[in-house]
Amino acid sequence: MSDIIEVTVFQAMVCAETHHDQRYWTVLDQLEYAKASRIKQPLLQHRYVEIHGRLRILLGQWLNESPDQLQISRTEQGKPYLEHYPELCFNLSHTGEHVLFAIATQAQLGVDIEVCKARVNFEGLVDKCFAKEERAYWTQLPELDQRQAFYHFWTQKEAFVKATGRGIALGLNTCVVNPLHPSTFLSVPEGCGRVSDWHSLSLDCGAGLSAAIVTDKPFTIKKATGF
């Protein structure tokens, strides 16, 4: 059995006050700065700048490095990593004003957080993105329970494809969450190793939210405060 790793999780709210932006602008690298500058919608720009600035500050504190000097690169599929600290893995997810950061070492790591909002097309998304085992479980649930169950499956799947670094192009319906044992998977896409290598955990992030972490090693969670 693989060694158990510790994943440190930071949950935060994006500040509503845009005057805090300047602190975060100053730590962005050239690519991040350019991307932020191209975002025309003020609220979306504010969220991008704060989230990516806070990620740099968090990683800088973790590594005792200046946040603006960290070299964050991306794989061909877009997954970020630190060039000079390849053993450190990190991931973030945000939904509206909520953001989740996760850090660990020597693992593939993905995280997702979603607001459990009502949708008119739950059934269409289930048909498109869920495997037959997940669909069968979801459709037999009482209607009142279907929304929460949908987001439970969805966050596990999103966290998985982010952990692999291959994104949703991998196929959400090929990553099959075990409905009866939701911290495990029934199957994973070809090229992603053994199904037993993958582990997931739902996070309690508050009312109206659903979140999950997935890694390729057994893990425990440490929730950090003061960030």
pLDDT digit string, tens, across residues 8-30? 999 999 987 766 778 899 999 99
Q: How far is CA 113 from the centre of its chain?
A: 6
Taking each helix axis from N to C end, the angle separating 132-139 and 122-129, rounded to the nearest 10 degrees, works out to 150
pTM, 2 dp: 0.93
Q: How far apart are CA 218 and CA 23, in angstroms?
A: 37
Cα–Cα distance, 210 to 65 (Å, whole number): 32
Average pLDDT over residues 78-86: 91
pLDDT exceeds cutoff 60 at 1: no
Strands 219-223 and 5-13: parallel
Min mean pLDDT across 64-68, 92-96, 136-140, 189-193 is at 189-193
Q: What is the distance between the alpha carbons of residues 170 and 159, in angstroms, rounded to a whole number?
A: 12
Kindly state the average pLDDT of the residues 33-38.
96
Identify the band that residue 2 occupies on the pLDDT scale cut at 50, 70 and 90: low
Contacts of 91 (CB under 8 A, 6+ apart): 101, 102, 109, 110, 111, 162, 163
Q: What pLDDT is attached to residue 89?
A: 96
Mean of per-residue pLDDT scores for the chain: 92
Domain annotation for the chain: domains and CATH numbers: 5-223 (3.90.470.20)
